[in-house]
């Protein structure tokens, strides 16, 4: 089943986000390589492709997991979560309708 994984960034977490980014991207790439990733990306704090020092408000991933527990475990062990980038996280089931 598909799940929406969302992380909300902690205040002033841009520096640690940059440090954790390579390890985070490697984990997301593994989902893509396994054909389990629908979409993933950060949410800029401002309306810009590169928000600069404004940073990000969080990240969103929609991917396939065997269970809610597996999706929660994946997010709990992500470098953005373990490294303190995310202030809070959530996992919700998702049903794709379009496209």
Per-residue confidence (pLDDT) for residue 51, from 0 to 100: 96
In the chain, what is the straight-line distance between the N-terminal and C-terminal CA atoms, in Å?
17
Query: What's the pLDDT score for residue 92?
Result: 98
- Residue 77's pLDDT is what? 98
pLDDT of residue 91: 98
Taking the C-alpha atoms of residue 4 and residue 90, their distance in angstroms, rounded to an integer, is: 8
For range 68-91, the mean pLDDT: 98
Question: How is residue 45 annotated by DSSP?
Answer: S
81, 94, 95: which is closest to 23 by C-alpha?
81
pLDDT of residue 82: 98
Could you tell me the domains of the chain? 2-94 (3.30.70.1060)
Bridge partners (DSSP) of residue 61 are: 5, 40
Say what the pLDDT of residue 16 is: 98
Task: Supply the pLDDT for residue 68.
Answer: 98
Please write the tens of the pLDDT for every residue from 22-71: 999 999 999 999 999 999 999 999 999 999 999 999 999 999 999 999 99
Instruction: Find where tokens 């049903």 sit.
Output: 95
């Amino acid at each position: 089943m598909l799940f929406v994984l969302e992380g909300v960034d902690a205040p002033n977490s841009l520096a640690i986000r940059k440090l954790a980014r390579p390890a985070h991207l490697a984990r997301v790439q593994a989902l893509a390589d396994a054909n389990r990733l629908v979409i993933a990306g950060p949410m800029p704090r401002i309306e810009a492709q590169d928000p600069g020092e404004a940073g990000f408000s969080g990240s969103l991933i929609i991917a396939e997991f065997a269970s809610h527990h597996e999706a929660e475990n994946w997010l709990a062990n992500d470098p953005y979560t373990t490294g303190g980038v995310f202030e809070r996280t959530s996992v919700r089931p998702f049903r794709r309708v379009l496209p």
